Amino acid sequence: MKKVITYGTFDLFHYGHLRILQRAKALGDYLIVAVSTDEFNMLKGKRCTYPFMHRAKIVESIKYVDLVIPEERWEQKEDDITKNGVNIFVMGNDWKGKFDHLEKFCRVTYFPRTKDVSTTEVKHHVINERSLSERN
């Protein structure tokens, strides 16, 4: 069985998130998704709209996902790969080169981001729409 793993915050789940999960699953038989915990996101300087348990449940419900685990620290990737017998590590190409050191454990693949879709853009759009409606 070929196992694939990917990591993310998955806040404000959108089409780009779905596409990376779909493409990751297509590389193997079993997809593990590590969802960043609220505490880990705070260390990264990220503030989420939804708490970890909600984001994990959303990701868990996607048909391409076989297992959701918490991402609690940067260093856990090597442990996750070896403990779960992972063959392929997948991330978006905005991380290109950052995880090449994991090649000693498995294949590392970077997918192009889905054009014109990002959580940051969604958040900016919502803020802008709210500002417009408050002015009118």
Residues with catalytic annotation? 44, 46
Q: Which two three-digit tokens encode residue 136? A: 């009118």
Residue 43, pLDDT > 60, answer yes
Q: CA–CA separation, 7 vs 46, rounded Å? A: 15
Question: Each residue of 84-120: pLDDT tens digit?
Answer: 999 999 999 989 999 999 999 999 999 998 776 665 6
CA angle 30, 31, 35 (to 5 degrees): 155
Please compute the mean of the pLDDT values over residues 69-97 and round it to a whole number.
Answer: 96
Selection from 108, 87, 96, 99 nearest residue 32 by Cα: 87
Domains and CATH numbers, the chain: 3-135 (3.40.50.620)
> Which neighbouring-strand residues pair with 107?
88
For residue 18, give both structure tokens.
């779905």
